[in-house]
Amino acid sequence: MSIWALLLLPLFLLPTIIALKKNHPYKTPIILINILGGLFWGIGWLVALIWCFILPTKVSNNQTGIANEIEKLYMLKEKGILSQEEFELKKKELIS
Percent of the chain residues past pLDDT 90, beyond the cut: 49
Interval 6-12 mean pLDDT? 86
Neighbouring C-beta atoms of residue 54, cutoff 10 Å: 10
Q: Can you give the pTM of this predicted structure?
A: 0.55
Q: What is the pLDDT of residues 14-59, one digit of tens each?
A: 999 999 999 999 999 999 999 888 777 778 889 999 999 998 876 5
Three-state secondary structure along the chain?
CHHHHHHHHHHHCHHHHHHHHCCCCCHHHHHHHHHHHHHCCCHHHHHHHHHCCCCCCCCCCCHHHHHHHHHHHHHHHHCCCCCHHHHHHHHHHHHC
